[in-house]
Every structure is written in structure tokens, then in C-alpha cells.
Structure 1
Amino acid sequence: MASLFPNLFTRLARPFTSTSSLHFASPATSDFPAGAQTATIAAGCFWGVEHIYRKHFGNGKGLLDARVGYTGGDTEHPSYRAVCNGVTGHAEALQVIFDPATVSYAQLLELFYRMHDPTTANRQGPDVGTQYRSAIYWHNEEQERIAREITRKANEQWYNGKITTELVPAGKWWDAEEYHQLYLDKNPSGYECPSHFVRSFKPLE
């Protein structure tokens, strides 16, 4: 039971909204430059995941858009409160629209394995529950191939065979409520999971 208390405290520390929000399907890549692709990952609390990806790949470095949301479960129109209660099957996740001419899918996944702890199943730091699982949701066969290859390399070269990350096909995506988007930009002193930092590993070979 003791391991549940930090998670309970974290939930209490995070804001819930009493205002209902619409949830949208993932944006069409046709709204972006020709060749734009979608990447979907889960790595714990989505506030920090989005913040790190925007910092590393924004401002002309390949990231065209990023949205936090929910995926991997079987509940329609999930709310943040329901996802945090662990009753939806969904993970807190990030969906990135990127320009593969500027940044590769492999580079996005290498940062994924650098910026969180993929060895703790259903947990990132004090955040405990299936909603905080580590997962890569691939969108086509080529992404699946790359995801498995990067995972194998990271497992061998960085994590000594302890990676628990799920590799599964992308399913239906639900945007999180608007106040979650760019949360740490809007709230610089807001909660950021202590597991979210970029590790100084050697580049994957």
C-alpha cells in the first residue's frame, strides 16, 4: 500500500477541471507539409513528455505539432479524471506530427528512451498505474520495424535487458483537455515527473 501514497499525492497536486472538454481524433497529416508523419508514444505524465519533445525538436528541428492525449484503452471520450483513476485502459500519451526530412522516426525514439525510465512497468517516478506505462504506438510496418530495432539497441546498449516498453499498433487517439496542452509552458513551476530528464547515454550504434 505504501507505494500508492506518492501517486495519490501526485493526483491531488495535479489540477482537475470541472469544465467538460471536447476530444478530437488525431490531426490529419494533410494539414501539414507533404510527407509529414505521425509518431505516438507514452512515457508517463504527458506534461513533461511534451515539454521535452518541443524543446528538442521544435523551432524548425522537425516537430510540426504535438498534442497530449489518451490512447491504448477501450473507453470512448475519456476524461483526465477517469484516466488518472486507472479505469479507462488508456495511457497518458503524446502524439507528434514531424517532418521526416528534418528529423527521423528513429531519432524521435532514441530521445524517447533517453528521457524516461522504460524499465519500470506502469510507473514513472512517483506516478504509479497503467496510465503511466511506457509504450510506442506504431502507425505502419516501417515504424514497427524501426521501433523494434531501436528498442533492441536501447535494451542491449543502455538498459541491460530490462526494458518493459509495450510496442503495439496505434489505435484511436483522444486529445486531452485544452488546459493540458503546452501545460509546462503555461505553468513553468508546474509538476514535472522526476523521471523525465535526458540521460547522457552514448548514441546508439
Structure 2
Amino acid sequence: MQVMKHRWSSPLLAALVAIVVGGLAESFSYAAEAPVVIDPPKFDQPKAAGALQTAVFGGGCFWGVQGVFEHVRGVQKVVSGYAGGNKATAQYELVATGTTGHAESVQITYDPAVVSYGELLRIFFSVAHDPTQLNRQGPDSGTQYRSVIFYGSEAQKSVAQAYITQLGQAHAYARQIVTQLSPAGGFYPAEDYHQDYLVQHPRDLYIVYNDLPKVANLQRLFPASWRGTPVSWR
């Protein structure tokens, strides 16, 4: 079952849908994925002063993933967008067909002196999404919602691969991790109305059921990484 991603303009309609959706969520368990407590990566890039760096992750609908990482200390900017496909088809209506090769992704700009690439991965695997769901996250299904890490360097690839292996050997999840590792190509920002969506629409039913719990889990499980005021995408 798939929940349409849009806002409900009528308070009465929203209330009625909340009752229905709440019951369905209870029956079909399509609300936010449960967080998983995992160890930090044993192999990571050391924190060091230097130029800002970027990480690109795909973990289901970019609204929630962006919303989570905008609350992480050391993160300077998070942009929702499309990766894994061509620029010509990097448009929401086309990507939504699941035929363009893109994944809904976020591009994270971060200060490597404050937060490491491995720490970002830990949050990605623990609270931002479920890395054991193949081509879906929660209510959304299709290859555009796949779990994927677009590495920008061999160092990032090594850290990510080592961490996936570590988590697999530790049996951190009940099922196998299906996260793909792909070289970073073009990243194409999504339309403006998708940006900062969680911050702008915290009462959207999709956000309430699927994404606000992820932000709450970040604060609860990673208090040292938590920043109360989210950064903006611009």
C-alpha cells in the first residue's frame, strides 16, 4: 500500500484521513521504520579541519532523510534531489515512474572537523531509513526509493563498504543489508517545493507518520550529534 505524498488542505479531511491512516498504520505497519541501535564504524575517516565535504545518500523519500540530517551537528546544508540517472530526466514526475534510474537522494555538505563520514553513515543506517528494505521504504516502493550510497571518493567507498560488512557480521539487523554502493555522478536538486519539506510541513500526515519519528529517534539515540535548529537547504 502506498500513501500519496501531498498535504491535506481541509482540516476536517485531514482529521478523517488521520483516523483511517492511523488504523491502517496499525494494521499494515507502514509507519516510520523502527530505529536500530548499532555500533560506530570501526574504520572511518578521522576528523580533521579542512574544506567542507559532501555525502550523497538515498534512503526512501528524501523528505525524511533531509529532515534527519538537517538536525545533525557539523552539517552545513542538506539538499533533496535525484542521483543515479541523467539530468534530462531529473524531474519528480519522471523519477516517480521508477524508470529513469534515479534514486531520491540527499546531498549533505558537512564540516569534517565536526562530523565524520562514518558518523553520517551510522545515522543513515540507524535512524534515517531501513537498509534491509529492497527498493522501498515504508509506504513507498520502486527503485527510486532504493537504499544507496553514492560515494564521492575511494576513501568514502572504503568506509561505507567496511561498515556494511561490519554490520552484517554483527547481525545488526534481522535481515540482510541491501544498500547499494554506486560512484557519485550527477546530483540534481529537486524542485523547490520538496526542499525543507519536513520543516515547512510538520503537520503533513505523511511527515507525521513516517518522518517525525525519525527526527525524534535521532535526538534520542544520538544526543551528542543533535542540533535543535535545523539548517536550511540554501
1:178 is aligned to 2:231: no
Alignment of 1:101-140 (within 5 A): 101-115=113-127, 116-140=129-153
Quote the residue 2:103 is aligned against: 91
Deviation, 1:76, is: 1.8
Once the 2 structures are TM-superposed, how far is the Cα of residue 194 of structure 1 from its aligned partner?
Answer: 3.1
Give the match's secondary structure for 2:85. Answer: coil
1:178 maps to a residue whose letter is D
Report the equivalent of 1:153: 166
Residues 73-112 of structure 1, C-alpha deviations (whole Å, 9 max, x = no match): 2352421111112121101000000000000000000001
2:35 is the alignment partner of 1:35: no
Q: For 2:163 and 2:62, locate their aligned partners in 1 and report how far apart those are by CA, in whole Å.
A: 21
Q: 1:127 deviation in Å?
A: 0.5
Equivalent position of 1:3 in the other structure:
none
TM-score (norm: length of structure 1) = 0.77
Check 1:113–1:159 CA distance in 2 against 1; reply closer, same or farther (3 A cut).
Answer: same
Q: 1:14 corresponds to which residue?
A: 6
Distance of 2:116 and 2:159 partners within structure 1: 10
- Residue 80 of structure 2 is matched in structure 1 by 68
- TM-score, reference length from structure 2: 0.68
Q: Which residue of 2 aligns with 1:188?
A: 202
Unaligned runs of 5+ in 2: 8-48, 223-234
Q: Which has the higher helix share?
A: 2
RMSD (Å), alpha carbons: 2.3
AA partner of residue 176 (structure 1): A
1:145-201 alpha-carbon deviations (Å, 9 max, x no partner) = 101111112223312560000011111111000111100111111223638734888
| Contact kept in structure 2, 1:36 and 1:99, CA below 8 Å | yes
CA distance in 1, matches of 2:79, 2:221: 27
Tell whether 2:90 aligns with 1:78: yes
Q: Following TM superposition, where does structure 1 have runs of at least 4 consecutive aligned residues deviating by more than 4 angstroms?
A: 199-202
Say how many residue pairs are matched: 173
Aligned position for 2:182 = 168
Query: Contact conserved, 2:58 with 2:146, CA < 8 A, in 1?
Result: yes
SS in 2 for 1:38: strand
Question: In percent, how many aligned pairs have the same letter?
Answer: 39
**Distance (Å, rounded) in 2 between the aligned partners of 1:38 and 1:189:** 30
